[in-house]
Structures are given as structure tokens and as C-alpha cells.
């Protein structure tokens, strides 16, 4: 198994001198499930932005699926993003498009035929229990349903990596577990999953490696779901 994500001494400094990441190093194996945790402002969201090439690191190297994010040309960024399924706390669904259309966009950008798109979206919606909502608009759905749609969109094109930024932040505990179960299910199927969250209780329901960030630095790693925190 190779490495899916590699951060080597990554520093990110925003204009105005704000230090978001400070010589951060972390890596993820293909097929791994990793939590990234830490208080607000620790740098969790910056990791997501760097992975998606929404920002470029000030220093250090980032490899995603063997692509060097730092040296990517603007024109190549969309092709990197097609390998990453992205899930946000606020769902980021297009409100004027139906559930079907929201899920279909990840396949439309790949240039698949309408027939292929119909078939694939149908399968994914069925898998996530959303088939009956296919023609509904996002504002007509509950928070849990909207997050399911976001997950469906993230997995529709079978990406090797899924990154989720506080995916349960807007959901009640029952729905949060439901969403996490879906993500672990995807991971069991071989997808690499990175979840940024500060919900310790939720993390402890699953046994997985977790990186704790503090002030943009790797403050330690441990395995969630165990009684004691193990420093690695």
C-alpha cells in the first residue's frame, strides 16, 4: 500500500502574518481512516484547503495521490479535485438543483454520458437511501438528509480519497452517528477517509488513528476508541 496524503514540514502563513500551520508533517496510507482534531484555529480547515489546492503552502511539500500540490498549475487543480470527495459541515449543496443533479455534477465534470450518469447516480442514491428524494431540492430536506446528499456527491465518482471538514457539526447526535457510519462504510470499501472534527465523543465511537493539532503543529497522535491516549 502506498501513501495517499503526505504533508512534509508544511507551513502556511496567511496575509497579515497569521500562522495557520507550522512545519506540520503527517501522512496517510491508502485505505486508512484518519481523524484530525484540535481546537478552533488549530489548522484543521487549513489542511482541507491545502489538500484541495484552494490555498498553496508557504513552505513544505504536500503530496495527494502522488501529485505535488505545491507545483500544480492552476489548470491542473480540477483534475486533482476529481480524486477527492469533499464533505463540509454546511453541506455546500446547490440549492437550485435537485438531489439527483447535485450528485450528478461530479460525474458531469468527468464528461460521462447521460446514461452512465443516470445509472451511477441511481446506484449511489439507492445505497445512501436517498432514491425517493432524487427530485427534491436541498432546502426541502432535513440536515441529515442534506449531509447524506453531500456524501453521495462525494462518493459518486469513486474517488480514492474523501475529506470531511466537521461533517457532523450541524447534525444532532443520532444523525452524526449515521453520517459517521456511512463514512466508515466507505472506508471499509477501500476509500481513504480523512475527517476533521473536534467532537471527541463521536471520535471515540470508532477505532482509528487521530492527529491532534495545536496552533498549527502536530501535538501528538493517538488511537481513538481506546481507554487511554497513546502517544506514538
Partner 1 sequence: MPGSLLRGKRVSRHVRAAAYFLRQGVANLARHPLHASVGVLTLAVSLILVGFLGLFMWKATDLVDRLSGGLQLTVYLDPEISQGGADELVKVIREQWDEVQEVTFHSSLEDQTRNMELLPKELVEELDPELIPAQPYLEVALNIELLDEQRATQLVEWFGSLDRVQGVDEVLFGSEKISVAFSLLRGAQSIGLFISLVIVLAALFFVITTTRLIVEGRKKEIEILLLVGATRNFIRIPHYIEGVLQGGMAGLLAFLVVWFMQRQLLSSLRTESLLLVPINLLPSGMVTWFLMGGVLLGLLGSGLGMVRYLRLSK
Distances (CA, A) of 127 to 39, 51, 186, 208, 225: 34, 27, 11, 24, 27
CA distance 84 to 226: 29
| Contact positions vs partner 1 (CB under 8 A) | 52-55, 75, 77-82, 86, 92-97, 105-106, 108-111, 113, 153
Nearer of residues 95 and 126 to partner 1, judged by Cβ? 95
Nearer of residues 112 and 131 to partner 1, judged by Cβ? 112
Nearer of residues 135 and 207 to partner 1, judged by Cβ? 135
Closest CB 153 distance from partner 1, rounded Å: 7
Closest CB 5 distance from partner 1, rounded Å: 17
Question: Which residue's C-alpha cell is 495527494?
Answer: 64
Sheet with 67-68, strands from edge to edge, namely 19-29, 3-13, 59-64, 67-68
Closest CB 80 distance from partner 1, rounded Å: 8
- Give the DSSP H/E element, type plus range, for residue 106: helix 99-108
Closest CB 54 distance from partner 1, rounded Å: 5
CA distance 180 to 96: 27
Instruction: Kindly state the DSSP code that residue 140 receives in the 8-state scheme.
Output: G
Closest CB 111 distance from partner 1, rounded Å: 6
Provide the 3-class DSSP secondary structure of residue 74: helix
Nearer of residues 36 and 153 to partner 1, judged by Cβ? 153
Nearer of residues 51 and 193 to partner 1, judged by Cβ? 51
Amino acid at each position: 500500500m502506498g501513501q495517499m496524503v503526505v504533508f512534509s514540514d508544511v507551513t502556511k502563513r496567511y496575509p497579515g502574518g497569521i500562522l495557520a500551520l507550522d512545519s506540520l508533517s503527517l501522512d496517510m496510507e491508502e485505505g486508512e481512516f484518519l481523524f484530525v482534531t484540535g481546537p478552533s484555529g488549530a489548522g484543521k480547515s487549513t489542511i482541507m484547503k491545502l489538500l484541495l489546492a484552494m490555498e498553496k503552502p508557504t513552505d513544505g511539500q504536500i503530496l495527494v495521490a502522488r501529485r505535488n500540490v505545491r507545483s500544480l498549475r492552476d489548470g491542473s487543480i480540477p483534475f486533482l479535485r476529481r480524486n477527492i470527495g469533499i464533505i463540509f459541515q454546511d453541506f455546500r449543496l446547490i440549492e437550485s438543483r435537485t438531489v439527483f443533479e447535485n450528485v450528478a455534477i461530479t460525474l458531469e465534470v468527468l464528461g460521462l454520458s447521460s446514461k452512465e450518469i443516470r445509472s451511477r447516480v441511481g446506484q449511489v442514491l439507492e445505497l445512501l437511501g436517498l432514491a425517493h428524494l432524487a427530485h427534491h431540492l436541498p432546502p426541502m430536506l432535513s440536515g441529515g438528509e442534506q449531509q447524506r446528499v453531500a456524501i453521495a456527491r462525494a462518493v459518486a465518482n469513486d474517488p480514492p480519497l474523501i475529506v470531511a471538514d466537521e461533517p457532523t457539526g450541524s447534525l444532532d447526535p443520532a444523525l452524526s452517528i449515521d453520517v459517521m457510519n456511512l463514512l466508515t462504510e466507505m472506508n471499509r470499501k477501500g476509500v481513504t477517509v480523512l475527517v476533521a472534527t473536534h467532537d471527541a465523543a463521536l471520535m471515540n465511537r470508532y477505532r482509528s488513528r487521530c492527529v491532534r493539532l495545536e496552533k498549527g503543529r502536530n501535538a501528538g497522535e493517538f488511537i481513538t476508541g481506546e481507554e487511554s491516549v497513546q502517544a506514538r
